[in-house]
Chain A
Amino acid sequence: DARVTQTPRDKVTEMGQEVTMRCQPILGHNTVFWYRQTMMQGLELLAYFRNRAPLDDSGMPKDRFSAEMPDATLATLKIQPSEPRDSAVYFCASGWERDRGPSPLNTEAFFGQGTRLTVV
């Protein structure tokens, strides 16, 4: 049963602490997305990768957030230092895309269960 796995599911931390969220994309997928969801803003795209290379992280606060893919089976999102306004659910999603040839092909993005972050 292929699925995107995110850890931890829940995280409560104090303001100023470093937070690391992890994501294991579906095996064989070459695209990974990080989203943040709040009641006020909905689903915001923070960053996305294709073939482990960052394509767009314009939605991410650069001073405190960083996203990496150390290898094809792991994506990380770090916040340092964390602030109360970072409290949200962070979703990772993965998909498969072919961007070459006359007909680009892609699948839908499959979402993980999310990490609920609370910064107090």
Chain B
Amino acid sequence: GQNIDQPTEMTATEGAIVQINCTYQTSGFNGLFWYQQHAGEAPTFLSYNVLDGLEEKGRFSSFLSRSKGYSYLLLKELQMKDSASYLCAVRAPGYKLSFGAGTTVTVRA
């Protein structure tokens, strides 16, 4: 089975940096995804890590440590539009994609 943990909520100020952690225990690993989901909308893809290290994409970066079963999503220069739920998802061999419960980020002015 798969167990994916991430904090329920985080609050930060506009312009600040927020780091969302994700830990996972899975029977096999074939990549980790981060998705963003605004209220009432579908999840949209943010990043993908399959090897250890940092992947940077504009204001968003994602890090993976396979040996520790750990990832984080870093959001820099926060904007009001970044208020959303951020979902960590792990792909197992056979490409089964399972999601964590999501972290709701609230950006305050």
Contact = CB atoms under 8 A, between A and B. Distances in A.
Interface in B25-81: 30-31, 33, 41-45, 48
Contact of A42 (B45, B94, B100): B100
B48 to A, nearest CB: 6
A55 B94 contact: yes
Interface residues of B, number: 20
A25 interface: no
Contacts of B87: 42-43
Interface of B: 30-31, 33, 41-45, 48, 87, 91, 94-102
A42 B94 CA distance: 22
Interface of A: 31, 33, 35, 42-43, 45, 48, 50, 55-56, 91, 93, 97, 99, 104, 106, 108-114
B109 to A, nearest CB: 26
